[in-house]
Structure 1
Amino acid sequence: MFSPLALRLPIMPDEPPVYFLSRLAARNFMKARPFAMDMGFTFNGVERGDQTAIDTLAAVSGVSVADLNACGSRTVGDRIMLKGQLLDLNSVRRARVQACPECLRHDVASSDLPSSVAMYGRVQWMLNSVETCEKHGIALVTIADKLPECECQDWSPAAASGLDDISALVKTAVARRPSRLEGYLLDRLNEKPAESWLDGLPFYAAEQTARLFGTMALFRDSTTPFSLYDSNKYSAGEIGFDIVNGGPSDILSFLTDLKRDQLQSRHAAGKKTAGPAPIYGRLYSRLTLMDDPAYNPVRDILTEHIMSHFPMGPGDDIFGTPVTSRRFHSILTLQKKYDKGDRTVIKILTDEGLLKEHAGNLRDMLFDAPTTERLMDHMVKSVSLAEAQKRINVTANVMNTLRKDKIISRQCTESDATRDRYSIVELDDFVRRLFVDAQPVDSDSANAVCLMDASARNRCTISVIVKFILDRKLPWVGSRNDVRGVASIRVNPGDVSQLLARQVPIGVHAFEAGTYLKIAPPVIRRIADRGLIKGTCYVDPLSGRKKMVLSTDDIERFNAEYVTLFNLARAMRRQLSQLRAELTAQGILPAKETIGVGATFYRRSDVPFGN
């Protein structure tokens, strides 16, 4: 066990243990690192939050472990935990010491200790993103910079060497309130509610995200967040916090303005169309390099903006992640997809009214991908009526029937409304859907006939049978291996006959009746089984299962004659047990014919307030 030192001093509010160790060493006329070694622990151990080192420091200083840990940092992997917040190495100042001269002057004036140990460092001064004193409303001053590694975080010698005249520093200090980013970070460190979108990010990700957006807003690509100092760093934090504080909507609005300004600058400089990386600049490159999952929410917002404002599609990647879908096309992507020249693409888009009024660079214009692809497929991937019949292998009469019943749609362009065209994609999809459940057959039989024969035997159009196949209502569909297209489809005429002949009785099922009466469907079925509500059974033509429908008129009759205890209590706003007791006391008992159905029924005529 260690005995407390003779020359001791108290730990001050907001003082981190590593700064306290430095003052304690100075009080004993030593530098912090040799002093710690003499006391049986290491300076770096206190800096990393090693509990053994903290315990030893508490023993020699006479300060409680709890007071030392209150503002102590602890290394967690490659991060730093400080007062419940996760920081990284860029969040903490080590080789640079900044302080509020007014705070230091007050320290000296209110202490009997020598000024070199009376002045103590605050935990907020260790934060790289905080350069303003919240208490006195002035900018922090740099009292030591570019310290060697052996002197980093050794507070007292650094403070003593840089503060020859505190009064002069107070007079020259810049008066300003903390930036909104600084205020947010300080509130978060002190566990004050902030209600910001940044709350969802770790501390280090929140500060760097705000500074990154602020730097991009002020300086574009001319500098980086880590090269900013003093007023520029303050302004970047102020503006960056305003951009990201509101979350996705404000960030997306900023990105839209950024893209517009960047495109105008590139056009003025005669530069070509650019993708996301040149437009977003360091904003994009930094988020690409920082593969930390903590920044995923920020990357997700940028990804959404990129997908909504750039012609990204399969073959592209965003932050190293392949793009799997497309929202928009540009003239260039349409050229690549359909292997057409830019003049051809522009003519098609102009003829269809998508380029009636354009401004700026045509290559920067975006077109809705599904709409544009349907148009291009129609113009580039379409065939005439005769070619369509040949492609799906049907006769002219069958083709006309399918067209008349709108199973196959003809397409006309605005530029040539008199000429029918048929999409190859739609034709192929139509044939594919017919063959979804088709089983191969070698030859025709009584139970496997072509669509023409099935239509003739059942006296219905081919379209009816085709709809049965597309809706997957037929229990069996076959296809001839030696015939191509629609002509190869085979069906059982008996299956078609059953679908055409069966009719479902009129009425409602137990579920609908239960919803209307506010009674569980199983209770409804038991009531119907007892004949209290008339029902009709039928066989479902699709599933083959026996089902029951209930007469709507008989449901109304039953509802007028009976009422459940639950509905009665609910209507009267009474408790079930209380209402049941009152009815029993009056000699009113449940209807005998309903006992055992799973609910308690009374005849409305027996209950004085049944209606």
Structure 2
Amino acid sequence: MRGDWQLRGNDICLRHKKTLVPLWKHSHPVARSTVSERLTENLSDVMSGSIDGDEVLPSEYDYWLEQRLVDGTDHTWLGSIDLYPAITFCALLGAELLRTDAVADSAEGRPSVIGFFAAREGPEKIEEAFSELLAHAKDTALEPRGVYGSLFIHFDRASREDPAFSTLRDLLRSHIFRCWPLAAGEKIFGQSLISRRVHSVATASEETGVGQALLDDLLTEAGALQPGDPRGARQKTFELAPFAQLIADIPTWVGPIAMQKAIGATRAELRALVDDNVLAPRSNLPKVKSPWSAVDGTAFLERMLSMSQRHVSLSEKGWITLQAARNHSRRSLSEILNAVEIKKLTMGQLEGDGGYHSLVVMKAELATLNRDEQVESKARDLVPAAAFGREIGLRGKDSFLNFVSDGHSPSQKAPHPVTGQVFYYLSLEDIAAFRSSFVTPSMMTTETGAHRNTVVAALTSHRIERFTPGGKDYGPIYSREAAQPALAALRR
């Protein structure tokens, strides 16, 4: 009886290419260890070959183990792990993988072999194996112990304090912390999670008080979940960081009447603000009766009031509300407010009222603005760069003008046909060139049909960075190439 045959994890004899078999079994410990007596009882069976093992084709695992035992040579990642932890891990991981559909029909049905192939290349492949176990979890086994089985139990009990298993134990702990909806403070193998990393629909529902079905729809709309995911609420998980603010805000959302009061607007004014992409509810789902954030409303009203240049008494003539200006000029509120920002329109605030309804512009200035742009359009057959920037949702003052003036997209400089002042303009070809290379959230909304909040969430979840050459920020402009993952997700 060779010494290596006694090693747990060694299943075959490489010399004879046969499986190893136990020589005897005995319930009493002392009798079981009395080798001379047990050999005497079984000697005839041993000599006759009646209990020989089956013939087997050795695997790479068997040759790997043989080499480790002979001289310690190991060119796999497992060479950095002591032998006993390595073969124990291979056997336990392989046994759990055999429970999944992925390897159930494998010709290599030995757990140690399955585990070795999963572990020999190191952490990345081991992570794939852990993810395979998680993907095959059933609704009835939604605790880590139930998903990772004997592997989890071994790390949690037998080897919890064993430093020889620390590297392997840390791999599974990190995977669980990264993938499971654990609350802050929960312990895995004796170490606590500092802060939550992952939510499931179920845990987020418990935390927010929002029903699971509604929350599922909201998270799908925001891009945290894939549409049509058939899994249960406890299995639908998502990374918390990109959606933490959404989860925190949902319980604070209000209905349209409360939003009107928050910004001091009429029902028609709120509807116009939405239609013209000035304000957006946090959700467009019909079932959401309270889709508005009062925080958004307060911030919007503060910005509008800060743009007001003077107080207007009720007796002054020639001033009209923003809603009336929209109807009178047939311009969008977005265009009107951008004209206010670039000082082409003067906006005032009626005395005695602090809401959106109190904001007014001069009717005469609005007429002049319309006339100038009509002359300009006819004379040039070009689109002012500032106007195109507003069209694609770039409301920041001069952000798009700085973008074209710095040469990042084709444009033309020409004098205004009336005032003679030099401005940047875009031809149809210039516009096509910009659209082929760049996108904005408004463009992505138009191209995909997704809600603006969903677009922003997709950009966040895919970690798409703004186009900022040399660290210069031109507002929410993204390279189309960089934004492709988010665009593809939105189209799906």
Superposition TM-score, scaled by structure 1 size: 0.38
Question: Which structure has the higher relative contact order (CA within 8 Å, separation 6+)?
Answer: 2
Superposition TM-score, scaled by structure 2 size: 0.46
